[in-house]
Amino acid sequence: MTLATMDLMIIVPAFLAGLLVLITHVPLGSQVLKRGIVFIDLAIAQIAALGVIVAGMMDLDQQGWLLQVAAGSAALLGALLLTWTEKRWPEVQEAQIGVLFILAATGGLLLVAHNPHGGEHLQDLLAGQILWVRYEQLLIPALGTVAIVAILLVFKERLRRLGFYLVFALAVTASVQLVGVYLVFASLIVPSLGVRNYGKRARLPLAYLIGIGGYASGLLLSTIFDLPSAALIVWCMAILAIVAYASTPKPPARSAN
């Protein structure tokens, strides 16, 4: 086996992890833009990360199901809180989401302040360690993806406020542990931004292509140039989204008559 083949074998599980994230996050991202709550993913992802930190302080297995329960419970509590705030003060919901994000982020800083490896742990949760994902780590996220896709197919865009927030929280819970907060945000928002002016039928397939192309090119470039995978994936995805947006078909000119 050549060195090049070995490098490609290393990134296969990472690429599969990216695909799992994209399957649910691309359609959810389009709804996030439509609802005007762009930063909800950052807030929920950061709350899920806070749950992971708390689970780590309790010495739970970092690959076990109890960790998933801790992260999922934290994300669901955050979703319930945001459901209540949107109902109570809808005019400032985006600001409330931002406040919740910063509280979760700084809460994590406080919890790991006396941990000698706290900074490294926070970095892993933010930027992720997608290049080191193993096949066995994909089982629980894959099962969750199947359940979320089934819900989205049944309800499509008819999910009400509470249902949307809860589904969103479940989707983000596993994703943030696989790819980190940065890639969760990018996977949700960037593809949907790039295709927002396309026709309704073209948006979803094109958004998936942007996401898949971003993960594939970012992972390949990271192995070639030995650069951080998550950062390169975000940049590759953003470039593809810009190209897609710039290539948006122009509407036909109206007749002067």
pLDDT averaged over 10-residue windows placed end to end, the chain, 257 residues: 61 94 93 81 85 77 68 88 89 89 91 75 76 87 90 79 84 84 92 93 95 96 90 96 91 54
Domain annotation covers residue 54: yes
Give residue 183's pLDDT.
Answer: 93
Give residue 189's pLDDT.
Answer: 93
Domain annotation covers residue 254: no
Six token digits for residue 250: 């122009």
The count of structural domains within the chain is 1
Six token digits for residue 15: 């690429």
Q: Give Cβ neighbours of residue 251 (< 8 Å, ≥ 6 apart).
A: none
Domain annotation covers residue 255: no
Domain annotation covers residue 141: yes
Domain annotation covers residue 256: no
pLDDT in tens, 37-89: 777 878 888 898 888 888 777 766 555 567 778 788 888 899 899 889 988 99
User: Helices 229-246 and 200-225: crossing angle, nearest 10°?
Assistant: 140
Q: Is there a contact between 21 and 178 (Cβ–Cβ < 8 Å)?
A: yes
Domain annotation covers residue 81: yes
Q: Is there a contact between 55 and 67 (Cβ–Cβ < 8 Å)?
A: yes
Single-letter residue type at 62? Q
Domain annotation covers residue 149: yes
Helices and strands per DSSP (H, E), number in the chain: 10, 0
Q: Give Cβ neighbours of residue 257 (< 8 Å, ≥ 6 apart).
A: none
Q: Kindly report the CATH number assigned to the domain that includes residue 97.
A: 1.10.3470.10
Domain annotation covers residue 130: yes
Six token digits for residue 47: 């709350």
Q: Which domain holds residue 177?
A: 3-246
